[in-house]
C-alpha cells in the first residue's frame, strides 16, 4: 500500500507497524480503516501528514471528501479522518 509506504517515509509508522497493518487485515478496506485508526492515535501531525499524502495521491477525491490539508485548524484533522472511517466510503 503506497500510502503506508509514504507514512513510513514520514516516520509516522515504523516498519513493524506498517507490516502489522498489512498482515492483520485481509481486505483493502480493513487495511485502510486500520491505517486511519492508527494515524488518529498518533495525533495532529500524523493526521495532517496522512491527509497531505491522500491529497497528493488523489486530489479530486480528497477535495470531494473535504480533506484539503491547507485549510485545517487545530482539531480539524482528527474530525476529517473520522469521516473516512464511515463504512459507506468503502462501498465504492
What's the pLDDT tens digit per position in 22-67?
999 999 999 999 999 999 999 999 999 999 999 999 999 888 888 7
CA distance 17 to 33: 14
Cα-Cα end-to-end distance for the chain: 18
CA distance 71 to 80: 11
Q: What is the pTM of this model?
A: 0.75
Lowest mean pLDDT, pick from 16-20, 57-61, 87-91: 87-91
Please, where are the H alpha helices in 1-92?
2-9, 15-24, 28-41, 44-57, 59-64, 76-84
Amino acid at each position: 500500500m503506497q500510502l503506508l509506504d509514504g507514512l513510513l517515509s514520514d516516520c509516522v509508522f515504523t516498519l513493524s507497524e506498517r507490516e502489522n497493518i498489512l498482515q492483520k487485515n485481509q481486505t483493502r478496506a480493513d487495511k485502510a480503516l486500520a491505517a486511519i485508526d492508527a494515524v488518529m492515535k498518533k495525533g495532529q501531525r500524523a493526521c495532517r501528514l496522512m491527509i497531505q499524502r491522500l491529497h497528493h495521491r488523489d486530489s479530486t477525491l480528497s477535495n470531494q471528501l473535504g480533506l484539503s490539508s491547507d485549510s485545517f485548524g487545530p482539531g480539524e484533522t482528527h474530525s476529517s479522518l473520522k469521516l473516512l472511517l464511515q463504512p459507506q466510503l468503502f462501498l465504492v
